[in-house]
Amino acid sequence: MTHAYIAEAVRTPRGKGNDKGSLKGIKPAVLLAQALQTLAQRSSVDTAQVSDAIFGCVSQTGDQGTSVGTLALPLAGWSDSVSAVTLNRYCASGLSATNFAALQALHGDTLAVGGGVEMMSRVPMGSDLGPLTHDSELQALAHLVPIGIAADAIATQRGYTREMLDTYAATSQQRAAAAAARGPSLSMFSVTGDNGQVLLEHDENIRPSTTAQSLATMQAAFAQWGAKGGDAGWDAQLCRRYQLPAIHHVHHAGNSPAMADGAAAVLVGSQAALSRAKIKPRARILGFADTGSDRTLALTGTVDAARLALARAQLQPGDMDLFEINEGFAAMALHFMDEMQVGHDQLNVNGGAIAIGHAMGCTGAALISVLLDELEHRKGRYGCISICGAAGVASAMVIERMD
């Protein structure tokens, strides 16, 4: 069987996605360019040998408009022969872009780059004013609900209590804090300003003092929104669709993903292309998937994509040493563990987006290096990344660490 390989993967620290974020002063194309520069330096790749670059970005407007990934390449000093495109598969964009890059590498027996960028401090979620967030009529016709309310519906269906979700979220914070205390991981690089000063060298959303008890004091975020509109509102629609007596609103800012800034880049290639470039790969891609799931609940797509990628890799969940998923609300993570029969000791072992933050178009690509770093640290063999997005889109990848 022919496989694509991961030559190198890098990521920025995730900054706060608001006015207090350390990365707010940098333009998205410049942030992604730093990832591309680091990728080229660490892999020693001749960028003229790279055939294509595919990047994820969700809010493609303002600073992130006009194919921000294309603009990052010349800023990074890459060869003019490298073409690029920026795509939007919602929160799965960065991983989906890397899946596409793997396809390009295999089809052309060449090298390609996948990755993503999102700077929510400069381009807040929904800035593109698209129908997903700004057209309630079309949302109703398509049976789409706001993702936080969908998370509450999953918790209601599965019987996940507020205490269960807060406990999970507190663990994410504690794991992320412990990982940060050990220092930057192999694939993370420091972001610098125009004069070379270090702007950010660690994930800055983490709140080490968080406990389940402190989270219990926070008010549910989506209750009023869900009830608005009465029988025509989101809660009523969900109750009718899934035959629920009521929606229990259990998610809040503390057990939901934090908004973030970040960029990531992954160099992939066929075995022959890497051999010609004299680059030793870090991992082999055994299977990947871009798929759809229940468009209303949406967050269940993490399971569907992981199952499909594992089937294509001819492996089972029990074969995996580690899983990395985007923590798109605590209920989604609990649902993944239940459905996949995965223990928390194998899932997001260094915390996830609840603690570190979710830079929408970047996160999926960043999770590749997160997983690869930990597999190398533990000398594990197999790992799976999975991430879902609005309207039920989802992407996954199964990798094998190379000795």
Residue 362's CB: how many other CB atoms inside 10 A?
38
pLDDT for 210: 97
pLDDT for 403: 83
> Looking at 120-259, which runs of residues are DSSP E strands?
191-192, 198-200
d(C-alpha 86, C-alpha 78), whole Å? 17
Q: Which of 91, 335, 362, 384 is catalytic?
A: 91
d(C-alpha 81, C-alpha 73), whole Å? 10
Q: By percentage, how much of the chain surpasses pLDDT 70?
A: 100
Q: Which residue has the tokens 């879902």?
A: 388
Encode 219-234: b = buried (16+ Cβ within 10 Å), e = exposed: eebbbebbbeeeeebb
pLDDT for 1: 66
Q: Is the dihedral of CA 179, 123, 190, 11 positive or negative?
A: positive
Q: Would you state the structure tokens that stand for residue 307, as one six-digit string? A: 């199952």
pLDDT for 106: 97
388 carries an active-site annotation: yes
Q: Which of 57, 362, 384, 388 is catalytic?
A: 388
Q: Would you state the structure tokens that stand for residue 195, as one six-digit string? A: 């004069």
Q: By percentage, how much of the chain surpasses pLDDT 90?
A: 97
d(C-alpha 5, C-alpha 41), whole Å? 18
d(C-alpha 385, C-alpha 152), whole Å? 24
Contact in structure between 256 and 288 (CB atoms under 8 Å): no
* Residue among 276, 267, 325, 282 nearest 115 (CA): 267
Contact in structure between 392 and 52 (CB atoms under 8 Å): no
pLDDT for 184: 85
d(C-alpha 60, C-alpha 193), whole Å? 23
Grouping H, G, I as helix, E, B as strand and the rest as coil, residue 308 is helix
Q: Which of 3, 249, 251, 358 is catalytic?
A: 358
**Cβ-proximal residues to 92 (8 Å cutoff; 6+ apart), any chain:** 56, 290, 301, 305, 364, 387, 388, 389, 393, 394, 395
d(C-alpha 92, C-alpha 387), whole Å? 6
Residues of the chain scoring pLDDT < 50: none
Grouping H, G, I as helix, E, B as strand and the rest as coil, residue 22 is coil
pLDDT for 140: 87
Beta pairing partners, 217: none
Return the half-sphere exposure (C-beta side, CA atoms, 13 A cut-off) of residue 179: 27
pLDDT for 169: 98
d(C-alpha 344, C-alpha 352), whole Å? 12
d(C-alpha 356, C-alpha 205), whole Å? 5
